[in-house]
Amino acid sequence: MPNSFGKMFTITTWGESHGAGVGVVVDGCPPLLPITAEEIQAELDRRRPGQSDIVTPRNEADAVEILSGVFEGKTTGTPIAMLVRNADQRPGAYDEMREKFRPSHADFTYQAKYGVRDHRGGGRSSARETIGRVAAGAIAKKLLATKGVEIRAFVTRVQDVAIPETVLSEMPFPSPGQIEASAVRCPHTATAEAMIERIKEVRAAGDSVGGVIRCRVRGIPAGLGEPVFDRLEADLAKAMLSLPASKGFEIGSGFAGTLLKGSEHNDAWISQDGKPRTATNRSGGVQGGISNGEEIFFNVAFKPTATIMLPQKTVDAHGAQTELTGRGRHDACVLPRAVPIVESMAALVLVDHWMRQNAQRGTF
């Protein structure tokens, strides 16, 4: 089931960029959670195109319809199907893509894998697929919120425009308002402004940029995650590397932590109100694959958007050398819209592991 994610709280996404629509089925959701289409729409609005002047102007309301699984305002424990119709379709705009493989896109690989592809707007490889993730993630986030868990992702770097390391490492847990304050979803105002400027410059040049998103989670109790293969950090890594344009993941001290010695890196245990806490948090809230009750945090690297408005060398379906210039409406930087997607995927992983812990440590 390559289009499903999660073992107990399982989502299955479907849909292409220029087909009838995109959607998701959420299977395994606990019953009796109050949820409305408006709450889900609010999260979708954070990822929708056209929301600000630094994202793609493709104008899609991305209005969600809940087709099943919610009755009289509450989940029933049965599958929750959600549908977003595609609206702003310009299929003619993609005729060139039928024959030419876009560089660093999935055109060639889909063709190689399936022997066929819906070339319009990238088809299934379009980032519109993430609509289903965000709709499902809205439910997962609400479930976690009922347990006191908060998840905040934000942009820490756009190309080389970054929140200063000292600021980042000392930053208090940001509020939703601080993140949403800027169109780029960076809670450090000065950096946010510089990021926006960079994105506008690059876009004006027909080019694109990438960067880094950090995600922080607090309120997760100790004991979630499985040792061995389904470690919490392993499932988070998979979740993040499953996102379009992501190229890297690191948790806690990550790559930088490899420069320290063990004596510098280890998180000493201290007793706080009779409970073990770590003096530092280079572990990033997980040890041996299992949450230790500290804040969970990780970084995700996103490459520059593959679609650029500059001519590029490529090959056509017949193997002949040719050239392609991006057209249409694209994000010069995907990170602002990727923030709610990262949060959604994190929420999905965490709910799933919470349910797995319930299973093994429940009434037995």
In whole angstroms, give the CA distance from residue 319 to residue 316.
Answer: 5
Q: Is 127 helix (H, G, I), strand (E, B) or coil?
A: helix
Minimal distance in Å, beta carbon 9 to its own copies?
9
Single out the segment in contact with its own copies by CB under 8 A; choices: 52-60, 172-180, 183-191, 351-359: 351-359
Quote the DSSP letter at residue 95. G
| Contact flag: residue 121 with its own copies (CB under 8 A) | no
CB within 8 Å of 220: residues ≥ 6 apart: 149, 285, 291, 293, 296, 350
Contact of 297 with 219, CB cutoff 8 Å:
no
Single out the segment in contact with its own copies by CB under 8 A; choices: 54-62, 173-181, 184-192, 238-246: 238-246
| Contact flag: residue 77 with its own copies (CB under 8 A) | yes
Q: Annotation-wise, does 79 bind a ligand?
A: no
Minimal distance in Å, beta carbon 173 to its own copies?
21
DSSP calls for 64-86: EEE-SSEETTEE-SS-EEEEEE-
Q: Which of residues 161-200 bind its own copies (CB under 8 A)?
A: none
For residue 91, with 0-12 CB atoms within 10 Å meaning exposed, 13-18 middle and 19 or more buried, which class applies?
exposed
Q: Which of residues 210-229 bind its own copies (CB under 8 A)?
A: 210-212, 221-229
Q: What are the φ and ψ backbone dihedral angles of 336, each rounded to 5 degrees?
A: -55, -40
In whole angstroms, give the CA distance from residue 308 to residue 102.
Answer: 10
Q: Annotation-wise, does 185 bind a ligand?
A: no
Minimum CB distance to its own copies smaller for 160 or for 170: 160
Build a one-symbol-per-residue string for 6-45: x at contacts with its own copies by CB under 8 A, - elsewhere.
-xx-x-xxxxx--xxxxx-x-xxxxxxx------------
| Contact flag: residue 236 with its own copies (CB under 8 A) | yes
CB within 8 Å of 154: residues ≥ 6 apart: 174, 179, 185, 186, 187, 213, 214, 339
Q: Which of residues 297-326 bind its own copies (CB under 8 A)?
A: 299, 301-308, 310, 312-315, 319-321
Residue from the set 52, 176, 269, 325 that interacts with its own copies by CB under 8 A? 269
* Residue 335 parent element (H or E): helix 335-361
Minimal distance in Å, beta carbon 177 to its own copies?
27
Minimal distance in Å, beta carbon 106 to its own copies?
2
Residue from the set 76, 88, 193, 200 that interacts with its own copies by CB under 8 A? 76
Write out the binding residues for FMN: 124-126, 288, 303-307, 329
Write out the binding residues for NADP(+): 47
